[in-house]
Every structure is written in structure tokens, then in C-alpha cells.
Amino acid sequence: MSTESATHLRDESGPFFGEFGGRFMPESLIAALDEISAVYEEAKADPTFAAELAELHRTYTGRPSIITEAPRFGEYAGGARIILKREDLNHTGSHKINNVLGQALLARRLGKTRLIAETGAGQHGVATATAAALFGMSCVVYMGEVDTERQALNVARMRLLGAEVISVTTGTRTLKDALNEAFRDWVANVSDTHYVLGTVAGPHPFPVMVRDFHKIIGEEARAQVLELTGALPDAVVACVGGGSNAIGIFHAFLDDPDVRLYGYEAAGDGVETLRHAATITKGRPGVLHGSRSFMLQDADGQTLDSHSISAGLDYPGVGPEHAWLSSIGRATYLPITDAEAMNAFRILCQTEGIIPAIESAHALAGAIELGRELGPDATILVSLSGRGDKDVETAGRYFGVLDEAALAASALEQNALDANELTDGEAEAGELDHDAALTAAARQALDEASSRVDDLSAATGNGVER
């Protein structure tokens, strides 16, 4: 039994992965977690559940997602053969839909009519809002105030899909606080609400269940790479925040000992600074959000703020299965800074015509480092977990290619329209001042934006760095 499980890493199914995982939750939620565990076990044994999910993936998600060779990108990675698993082409733009559709089907089995979710970059929130619309369920998404500002486009997407987005203003106002709010909502509304946790963290059974819904990534990719190259890849790489896309692509390879697995954590300004989200690299074991894993914390066990240019990786914890894979040496976790990720982001845009999510750019940066180490004979499979549409503003600003003046002009126009609406049928005296103030504010914004564009243009123009 023990030798059996030691040779089949894929069979680990919780609640513990080695010393990691478990269920550290308020008693009020234990019944709901037990119910999910039971219904999930039933569903796993029921072929109609698998068939339903497969049909949704075929006709709605767009699975199987393709693989794409990236030879021009590979030139920057020591000439290694780079193969991208294109989760960015899924409906809603990332891997997140895999888990959400699975959990929505379960929620229906549980008789729940309301879905709640936490979101960082907004990808999981968008996926949950999408599933709620598809299944005719109501949806509330919790998002840290800081993230609603840097991912405004995804907030709008969720609202267009009919979800209510609640901006979380407690704690550090980022992803971890969105999880706290979602748990609080769930405690109060557990009778009709399913919490669609978006990553392989949280209390059992979430780490196992979310992994199972994502393992299709690696199962497809393993067969696709074998078919394309006649062999398994030398390495599989993915970005790691909570770790859902990484575990999804790793899982099918866990028992292939010759395939190296690399997870890339967000190092923000650098792991030598305090502004990073490199949980396994710099954290130590603790209990956060219901499971024991690595986390960023101070001496007293208070969770530390994390930082990353990528909202989706800006989380001070990590899934327990990753902590375990790291502890037994099966997977290696390394830090990638904001600057390294953004460099890889630009390289992929300009060599392959693919705009990646900034999260996925961390995996690309890792592939560049690894390719240079392994050389031109190596094949590296990269999880391209999401597309960069949501990041256009962040990246545009980072590289100084965003036309801030045009944005400000469009804001000016909008303000004028709003002001006109206000003056229609209203008393004039106050409105004139209001109008003038708006115009002045917009002018100032325009001036500031133009000077910023000048600064940025001066600083760029160096193209792709090798």
C-alpha cells in the first residue's frame, strides 16, 4: 500500500499530501465541505457526470485546447524546442473555466442556486460569472479593491455577464481578503450557495477537486506532445500563484520521472525585497484559508502582504499539493521578477504574435531560463494559462505604448456627455460650476498623460532584449 502510493504520485487524493493540506475551517462550514466531498465522490463514480462535463468542454469551452510550437520564441530560450499549451484559447480566456464548469455541475447536483467566488486578476471571477449565466444561477464575486482598480476591464466583463462584483476593502484589499469575504458569505448563506473556490488551495476537498477538474490540461498536452514529437517533453513549466494551472499541467506527468516539473512564482521586485509573492521560495509552513501549506507570514503567523505586477499571482499562500511536490523534490519552484516576466511577455508578443496573460508570462520567463540551461536538444512544454487582453492597460503602461492622451480625451468626451445629461432639465447655476470643474480636471489629466507618454517614449524603443 505504501510502496504503491509512493510510486503513483497521481493517486494522492487528500485530505493530506504528506504533511500539507487538511481542513482547518469553522465548524459552521464542515457540513457543507462534507456534502461537497460526498457529492463529488458520487459524481466521479457516475459516467453521466463525466459525459456532461466532456460535452460542455467540447461545445462550450473549446477543448481540447491546441498546442503551438514557438520556434521564434525558442531562439530566446537557448534554442530549446518550446511547445505552448494554449489554455488562453479557452472560452473566457484562461484555464479557469475547466474548474468552474465542473463545480457548477456539482452545484446543480447539490441543489444550490447561487455561486460565489473570489478573484484576483478577474479570470476566475469572469469564468464563474460565465458559468452562472450558463446555468441560470445568481453570482457574487469578491475582489480586492486594489485588484478592481488594476483589472477594471474584468470587473466590467463580470457585470456584463450579470454578476455582482463586491469590492473588498478589508485587510490588504487583495486576493487573500477576497477569499476571507467569500468564506464569510458562505458561512451565512451555505443553504443555497456554493463557493466556487478558484484554486487548488483551501480546505479539503477543494485542492483535490480543483486539481481533478484541471488535470485535463496535462492529460491532453501529454498525448499531444507525444504525437507531435514522439517523446515526452524534458520539462513542463507553469506559473504558480495558488497553483491551479500548474497542478493541472503537472499532474499527468507526476509519474514520469524523466520529465522535470518547474513552477515559477512571482518574485515581484525581487525575493531579496519585501515586495514579492514567492511563497515556496521565501515562505514557511502554516495554516491559511483552511489548509496547511507554505505561506508568507511574520514570526507571529500573521499573513504578510504579497506583491506582483500580476494580480493572479499576488497571493501569499499556495496549494498544499505544490508544497508536497516541493518537499519530496518532485517539482522545483523558482522565482521570476516582474521585470523578467514582462520581458518574456514582450518577447512572446513580438516573436509569436501571442499576447499572454502576465501570469503566464512568468512561465515563459522560466522557460527562457530553463531553455538556456538545457540547450537546443530540450523540449519544454509551457502552460500558457491565459491570454493578455485583460492586461493590455497594465502592459501598455509598463512599456509606454498606451496612448494616454487618447484615453484622457475619451474620458473628457465622456465627462462632457455626462455633464450634458446632468444639465438637461436641471437648475443651471450649480451645473455650470460642475461642468467647469469636470473640464478642468479632464484637461489636467490630459496634460499629465501627455508628459508621461513623452517620458515613456524616451525610455523605450530598445525592442526585444535577448
How many whole angstroms separate alpha carbon 150 and alpha carbon 311?
Answer: 8
Nearest residue to 326 (alpha-carbon basis) of 1, 18, 23? 18
The partner residues of 141 in beta bridges, in order of sequence, read 117, 165
d(CA 400, CA 411): 19
The set of cell numbers assigned to 177 is: 481578503
Q: Should residue 211 be labelled a site residue for another protein when binding is judged by CB under 8 A?
A: no
Quick one: which of 14, 17, 20, 22 contacts another protein (CB under 8 A)? 22
Of residues 28 and 350, the one with the C-beta less far from another protein: 28
Catalytic residue at 96? yes
Amino acid at 289: H
Q: What are phi and psi of 235, to 5 degrees?
A: -150, 150
* Shortest distance in whole angstroms from residue 191 CB to another protein: 7
Is 431 annotated as catalytic? no
Q: How many of the chain's residues bind another protein (CB under 8 A)? A: 33
Specify which residues 138 forms β-bridges with.
114
The footprint of another protein on residues 28-57 (CB under 8 A) is 28, 30-32
Q: Which residue has the cell 490630459?
A: 446
Which of 12, 37, 94, 96 is catalytic? The answer is: 96
Coil, helix or strand at residue 142: strand
* Positions in 140-199 near another protein (CB under 8 A): 170-171, 176-177, 180, 183-184, 187-191
Cβ-count burial 368-391 (b if 16+ within 10 Å, e if not) = bbbbeebeeebbbbbbbbbbbebb
Q: Say which of 118, 265, 340, 352 is annotated catalytic.
A: 118
- Nearest distance, CB of residue 25 and another protein, angstroms: 6
Nearer to another protein, 287 or 407 (CB): 287
Using CB under 8 A, which residues numbered 274 to 333 contact another protein?
286-290, 297, 299-303
Q: How far is the CB of 418 from another protein (least distance, A)?
A: 33
> Binding to another protein by residue 26, rule CB under 8 A?
yes
**Does residue 223 touch another protein according to CB under 8 A?**
no
Q: Which is nearer to another protein, 303 or 337 (CB)?
A: 303
Spatial distance between the Cα atoms of 231 and 222, rounded to a whole number of angstroms: 9
Contact 181, 142 (CB under 8 A): yes
Per CB under 8 A, residues contacting another protein are 22-28, 30-32, 170-171, 176-177, 180, 183-184, 187-191, 286-290, 297, 299-303
**Catalytic positions, please?**
96, 118, 385
